[in-house]
Amino acid sequence: MTGPNEKDAATPLAGTERRTNPHLRELFERAYEIAFPLLDPRQNLHTTGSAHFLRVALHDAFPELHQQDIAILSVAIERVFHERNKPAP
């Protein structure tokens, strides 16, 4: 999308699924529940290094996942956590 008119707009993919990790999408809500106490500052006083502990907790909960999948899942969980917990304007 380079401009405001339709000529320059990006073309929709006509229903094509762009996500490449559907197996992670299936696990996401369960993984989010596991990760929430590690990310919530009201429940976790040690916020430094929480990304490391998050990956360890995810690996313990889902030992069958590859390390790259754990990394993808942890980044997505952190992003969603911050989006869901934004202060109201």
Nearest to 54 by CA among 26, 24, 33: 33
Residue 1 clears pLDDT 50, i.e. is over it: no
The predicted pLDDT at position 46 comes to 60
Give residue 48's pLDDT. 60
Give tens-digit pLDDT for 5-63: 445 444 555 566 666 788 899 999 999 999 988 888 777 666 566 788 899 999 999 99
pLDDT at 7: 52
Q: Is the dihedral of CA 13, 20, 25, 73 positive or negative?
A: negative
Phi then psi for residue 29, to 5 deg, are: -65, -40
